[in-house]
Structure 1
Amino acid sequence: MSEFINYPLVAAFIAIIFSQFVKVPVAYLLKRKTSLALMTSTGGMPSSHSAGVAALITALTVDYGANSPLVAIAATFGVIVIFDSMGVRRQSGEHGIIINELIADLDILRKQVFHLSKREEVYTREHERHSREYLGHKPIEVFFGILTGIAIAFILREVLSWFAY
């Protein structure tokens, strides 16, 4: 089977793409703000970062065994990616929320001080800068990303086995 496609690579990419697409219906079911832009955004449920590395690690383990140096490399890479998505990137997103609140507060103050007209308010609203808020993942999003990646690796393996004979 592996001679036809690079199973670990395909599993990782399918997991990433699937996770990005499923964010919209999941957000809708969780009664969160929903738009098609979620499919290309970072953050959200499930974590496509976690799904991708989990699928890669799972596929490599299935193909080469748990003692393979490839699994060791992928697992190390996966841990770094997952911790980064929950740590540094999550903190950056939380900073984005605070920065956006400060911008909104400054805008209110500016309107009060300068008594802006409606036309000027529309112009400034169109040219406001916002920091991106959803950069990282909550632990539950990472958990479901990992489960998604593992499931996709096994499902893909099963589907590919149908074509092996």
Structure 2
Amino acid sequence: MLANYPLMAALTAIIFAQAIKVPIAYLLKRQTSLILVTSTGGMPSSHSACVSALITALALEYGASSPLVAIASTFGIIVMFDSMGVRRQSGEQGILLNQLVVEFNQLQSKVLRLTHEAEVTEEQQEKHLKEYLGHKPIEVFFGILTGILVAFVVRNIFY
């Protein structure tokens, strides 16, 4: 028997969701890199996988009417709503700001060439805000499914 099954299910869901981002990005023909394993955003949502695994594990362990399930569900709704709302909007603003910076650097390079001054450094051009912070609703949905599945798998392995 696993000492803290709900915690292990939640942590396993995070690790699993982060690990499968690379093959999923490859299958969806998106830019792939091992950096995806440690990044926020993407398919599936590890935030949603974590909280849904926690909720599922608590429901299996203590029953659906447990106050722990109610607390975890409330927490989970907030986490998932935040990942689709505030954090996603921050990412979209990051995209826009990065486009503005690129355009500004291009304009600055042209002005510097016209005035025969030094070029804009590569470091200045490569300064980017993080763009992939939040999740699309479909990423949250698959995160929820991932979390539920992981909770059942962890339970079957350790019980």
TM-score higher than 0.5 here?
yes
2:48 alignment counterpart = 50
CA distance in 1, matches of 2:119, 2:110: 13
CA distance in 1, matches of 2:69, 2:98: 41
Q: Would you identify which runs of 4 or more consecutive aligned residues in structure 1 move more than 3 Å? A: none
CA distance in 2, matches of 1:63, 1:27: 34
TM-superposition CA deviations, 1:95-154 (whole Å, max 9, x none): 00000000000011101111188x834xx2223421100000000000000000000000
Instruction: Give the aligned CA root-mean-square deviation in angstroms.
Output: 1.3
Asked if the contact 2:48/2:80 (under 8 Å) is kept, the reply is yes
CA distance in 1, matches of 2:122, 2:137: 34
CA distance in 2, matches of 1:113, 1:81: 46
1:18 alignment counterpart = 16
**Residue 114 of structure 1: SS of its match in structure 2?**
helix
- The number of equivalent residue pairs is 156
TM-score, normalised via structure 2 length: 0.94
2:61 alignment counterpart = 63
Deviation at 1:5, TM superposition (A): 1.5
Q: 1:11 to 1:159 in 2, by over 3 A?
A: same
1:142 alignment counterpart = 140
Asked if the contact 2:113/2:119 (under 8 Å) is kept, the reply is no
Paired amino acid for 2:119: E
CA distance in 2, matches of 1:98, 1:115: 26
1:125 alignment counterpart = 122
Deviation at 1:36, TM superposition (A): 0.6
Structure 1, unpaired ranges of 5+:
none
Deviation at 1:75, TM superposition (A): 0.2
Asked if the contact 2:112/2:119 (under 8 Å) is kept, the reply is no
Asked if the contact 2:109/2:119 (under 8 Å) is kept, the reply is no
Q: Counterparts of 1:1-165 in structure 2 under 5 Å?
A: 1=1, 4-115=2-113, 120-121=119-120, 124-128=121-125, 129-161=127-159
Paired amino acid for 1:126: E
**Residue 127 of structure 1: SS of its match in structure 2?**
helix
CA distance in 2, matches of 1:101, 1:33: 19
CA distance in 2, matches of 1:36, 1:16: 16
Structure 2, unpaired ranges of 5+:
none
